[in-house]
């Protein structure tokens, strides 16, 4: 099929990425790979690609991944991969990008590897890559604190902003680790923030001055509050941040990437004790309630899976994150918006919405919306500018 002959797409259901109602039986009329108009399919008499038994939706984005990490849930392998060579990590990055493509995840934001390999891969692949990588390069943490695998630390006596400037690699995002991981021994106990407000503020201001955005790993009330006061653009995780922070985020429009899947995966992870797994399950339940409140308050919730964590597989993790967001009260259309339009806005990417004037880029799922997001593990096709992408191969039936 070519752009010249393909004039119209007849879709059984359309989820357009705006979060609005799912439309039934529509025709997308195309012009040179762009959507010219979306009309009622009932009265359409012209030729059209028949997808009348399928749902179409924009390609997906995972706004929080670590491409260098395997999702292996084998504790021994996880310990070993932390010592992987650069070549082994590059192989893993490519593997993870293949998994993303296989699940219709066509853009990811990589939030940290200490060697900056994902950012190097983003530059190497360029704009023709089947999966676009937006990357932070290595993140920043405080010497002796959480984040060694993903970040580096300023030198003794050096401020965070000075360190960022000294080692600037041109990556479009700055990633700051501002708290620890969630405590799996004591429910809800937050780690102390890593950086003071003044240091955070100066680093974020430096990033903004360079045209970068700043993402902050923050769990707990104080770490999130400081990140918000410092002016960061997205809060990653935000476990136990509390209602006051959610209200601040709703008012300021700062994005929240609540990363539910890794906690779900930890609740099953064989590398933990039964007591730790039980706390992970409680953390997840608590976070789902925070998402419910955040959604009610109007917080900009963005889908990110933290893929690379134990049991969190690139690509497929988006399907699981969408299901958990729906468990927290988002409708299917709202969950899809968090992984399409809202994620694209955060990442500064055009598209990821199906509307007149936009590229005809979409996923085809041969199912009604009632089988979503589950059926995302089996896509029928990926279309870019109205043409089926030959780099995607549907699973063999």
CB 364 within 8 A of CB 387: no
Distance separating alpha carbons of residues 363 and 59, to the nearest angstrom = 6
164/160 Cα distance (integer angstroms) = 6
Task: Name the minimum Å distance from CB 318 to Zn ion.
Answer: 15
Tell me the Cα Rg of the chain.
21
Q: Give the nearer residue to Zn ion in terms of CB position, either 145 or 375.
A: 145
Helix, strand, or coil (residue 40): strand
Residue nearest Zn ion by beta-carbon distance: 306
Asked if residue 197 lies in contact with residue 226, where contact means CB atoms within 8 angstroms, the answer is: yes
Q: How far is the CB of 111 from Zn ion (least distance, A)?
A: 5
Q: Is the peptide bond before 250 cis (omega within 30 degrees of 0)?
A: no
Question: Judged by CB, which is closer to Zn ion: 27, or 89?
Answer: 89
Question: How many Å apart are CA 355 and CA 38, to the nearest integer?
Answer: 7
Nearest residue (CB) to Zn ion, 184 versus 364: 184
- Which CB, 306 or 334, lies closer to Zn ion? 306
Q: Which is nearer to Zn ion, 302 or 332 (CB)?
A: 302
Cβ proximity to Zn ion, 140 vs 362, nearer residue: 140
Q: Please report how close the Cβ of residue 125 comes to Zn ion at its closest, in angstroms.
A: 21
Q: Smaller CB distance to Zn ion: residue 259 or 338?
A: 259
Residues 6+ apart with CB under 8 A from 76: none
Least distance in Å: CB of 305 to Zn ion?
Answer: 9
Question: CB of 301: closest distance to Zn ion in angstroms?
Answer: 17
What does the binding site for Zn ion look like in residue numbers (CB under 5 A)? Answer: 306
Distance of closest approach, residue 149 Cβ to Zn ion, in angstroms: 10
DSSP summary character for residue 138: S
| Buried-state track 171-202, b at ≥16 Cβ within 10 A, e below 16 | bbbbbbbbbbbbbbeeeeebbebbbeeebbbb
Q: How far is the CB of 221 from Zn ion (least distance, A)?
A: 20
What is the chain's length? 397
Closest to Zn ion by CB, 17 or 315: 315
- How would you classify residue 211: left for phi > 0, otherwise alpha for psi between -120 and 50, otherwise beta? left
Q: How far is the CB of 47 from Zn ion (least distance, A)?
A: 47
Shortest reach from residue 65's CB to Zn ion, in Å: 8
Residue recorded with tokens 């096709």: 381
List C-alpha distances in Å: 364 to 143, 189, 244, 379.
47, 44, 40, 6
Q: Which is nearer to Zn ion, 113 or 306 (CB)?
A: 306
Yes or no: say if 135 and 174 are a contact pair by the CB < 8 Å rule.
no
With vertex at residue 370, the alpha carbon angle to CA 367 and CA 374, rounded to the nearest 5 degrees, is: 75
Q: Report the nearest approach of Zn ion to the CB of residue 181 (Å).
A: 10
- Nearer to Zn ion by C-beta: 213 or 375? 213
**Cα–Cα dist 168/211, whole Å:** 12
């Amino acid at each position: 099929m070519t752009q010249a002959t393909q004039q119209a797409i007849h879709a059984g259901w359309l989820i357009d990425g705006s979060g609005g109602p799912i439309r039934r039986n529509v025709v997308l009329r195309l012009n040179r790979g762009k959507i010219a108009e979306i009309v009622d399919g009932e009265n359409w008499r012209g030729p059209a690609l028949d997808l009348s038994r399928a749902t179409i939706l924009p390609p997906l984005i995972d706004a929080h991944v670590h491409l260098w990490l395997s999702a292996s849930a084998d504790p021994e392998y996880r310990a070993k991969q932390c010592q992987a060579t650069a070549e082994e990590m590059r192989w893993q990055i490519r593997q993870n990008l293949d998994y993303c493509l296989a699940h219709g995840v066509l853009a990811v934001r990589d939030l940290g590897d200490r060697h900056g390999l994902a950012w190097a891969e983003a530059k190497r692949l360029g704009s023709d890559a089947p999966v676009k990588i937006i990357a932070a390069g290595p993140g920043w943490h405080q010497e002796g604190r959480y984040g060694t695998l993903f970040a580096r630390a300023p030198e003794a006596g050096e401020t965070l902003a000075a360190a960022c400037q000294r080692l600037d690699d041109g990556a479009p995002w700055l990633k700051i680790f501002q708290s620890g991981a969630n405590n799996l021994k004591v429910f809800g106990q937050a780690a102390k923030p890593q950086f003071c407000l003044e240091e955070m503020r100066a680093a974020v201001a430096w990033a903004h001055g360079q045209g970068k955005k700043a993402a902050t790993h923050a769990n707990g009330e104080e770490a999130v509050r400081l990140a918000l006061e410092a002016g960061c653009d997205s809060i990653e995780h935000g476990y136990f941040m509390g209602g006051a922070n959610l209200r601040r985020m709703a008012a300021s429009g700062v994005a929240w990437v609540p990363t539910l899947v890794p906690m779900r995966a930890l609740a099953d992870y064989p590398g933990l004790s039964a007591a730790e797994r039980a706390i992970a399950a409680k953390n997840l339940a608590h976070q789902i309630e925070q998402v419910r409140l955040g959604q009610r308050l109007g917080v900009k919730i963005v889908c990110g899976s933290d893929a690379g964590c134990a049991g969190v597989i690139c690509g497929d993790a988006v399907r699981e994150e969408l299901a958990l967001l729906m468990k927290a009260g988002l409708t299917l259309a709202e969950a899809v918006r968090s992984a399409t339009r809202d994620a694209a806005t955060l990442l500064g990417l055009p598209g990821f919405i199906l509307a007149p004037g936009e590229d005809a880029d979409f996923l085809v799922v041969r199912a009604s919306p009632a089988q979503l997001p589950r059926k995302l593990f089996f896509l029928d096709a990926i279309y870019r500018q109205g043409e089926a992408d030959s780099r995607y191969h549907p699973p063999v039936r």
